[in-house]
Amino acid sequence: MNKKWLLSLLFVAFVSLLAACGNDEGASDDKENEKEKEEKTEQAESGEQPEAPEPDLEGVPEVVASVNGTEIKKEEFEMTYKGQFQQAAMQSQMTGQELDQDQLKKQVAESLVGQELLMQEANNREFSASEKEVNQTLEELAKQQQVGSADEFLAALEEQGMSEKEVRSQIQTQVKIDKLIAEEAGDVKPSEEEVKEAYDKMKEQQESMDTEQEVPSFEEAKPTIEQQLTRQKEGQATQKLVDKLREEAEVTVNL
């Protein structure tokens, strides 16, 4: 039974949040993106299609990591890795770059460690999650997964082997982590100046690509840019907290 399906789903959101903090690294990223585009173009011209890779889970230890005495087991790692692998494999096929599974395994292990550190810190600070907050999150997840109502979402998870009690417990943990991140990040609403600067940069990049696609107006793009900048600030605050917690924690990674 796939009892880690929901945790894996929440984990993907967590990884996306952490990834947001690295979205403005500047020229080095631009060069890498340019290289990827060139390789993709070359492959398209040659007609080559890379073979879809398979997840390599050989040799994964029974205990992948330990965080302050709490073990991250093989089952949890493998379920999470498979979900991340599917996304990475799709990106690999699009760019034509070979997928480095050893690197991906380390990234997943480190992200699971970070998630565990945040869980422990949220509990240490005694954050709580009300029934109303859990129900609201359930409805949001149901909407994201396009499965209708929260009840239908719970029924789908039950088919995956998860009881309603298990689902609510995991969502309670996620709500606590969200509160922890909100407290650490503080006011993350971007200023008008920050949004305008991001829009000008986006507009310049799109125009330099010399495509026929029309650049949206500032007012049209503003909500999306605000959301991206907010996630970026939350991601930076989250990564900073994880780094601090890790320095103070007893962490062992066995990969």
Of 11, 144, 158, whose CA–CA distance to 80 is shortest?
A: 11
pLDDT at position 15 is: 58
Rounded to whole angstroms, the Cα distance separating 198 from 207 reads: 14
Is residue 60 a contact partner of residue 78, using CB atoms and an 8 Å limit? yes
pLDDT on residue 57:
92
Rounded to two decimals, the pTM is: 0.76
Give, for 72, the enclosing helix (H) or strand (E).
Answer: strand 70-73
Q: In terms of Cα–Cα distance, which of 124, 123, 109 is closest to 73?
A: 109
Contacts of 54 (CB under 8 A, 6+ apart): none
Question: What's the order of all strands across the beta sheet hosting 251-253?
Answer: 70-73, 63-67, 251-253
* Sign of the torsion angle spanned by Cα atoms 206, 212, 213, 219: positive
Asked if 253 contacts 64 with a C-beta cutoff of 8 angstroms, the reply is yes
pLDDT along the chain (255 residues), means of 10: 46 57 47 49 52 83 97 91 87 86 93 93 95 92 84 85 87 92 92 95 84 85 94 90 96 95
